Amino acid sequence: MDWLDQIRWDRDGLVPVIAQERDSGDVLMFAWMNREALARTAELGEAVYWSRSRGRLWHKGEESGHVQKVHELRLDCDNDVLLMTVTQQGHEPGIACHTGRHSCFFQRLQDGRWDSVEPVLKDPDTMYGKAKA
């Protein structure tokens, strides 16, 4: 049996993926992979996701230069969620979020509102040519 066949893909042929920074343990982002994205990730040693908004494979960093080097892939006990340990690489190492922050999980619920608790490390306009908040 192919290792890809052991994954419980959802009805759209996707599996959720959590990207965790190897050195700090920080959760950097959540995304989706289809069979081809996961196979490419394993082959390249770099994160390749399925972009639902673009409707295509998305090699992390293809626009921003913030590539994720993959160290390990783990499958949960139900075979339906992946955990990927990565090193965030690029011109400004440590930027995983399209908002220019270290992590996509930069908003914390405080006193009934979401507050940004991580700084912008690089202006998204300079990474993409337009704002992506």
* Across 81-85, average pLDDT: 98
Query: Model's pTM, two decimal places?
Result: 0.87
Q: Which residues of 95-131 are buried (b: 16+ CB within 10 A; e: fewer)?
A: bbbbbbbbbbbbeeeeeeeeeeebeeebebeebeeee
Which class is domain 3-92? Answer: alpha beta
- How long a stretch of residues is the chain? 133
Would the pLDDT of 53 be above 80? yes
What is the per-residue pLDDT for 133? Answer: 46
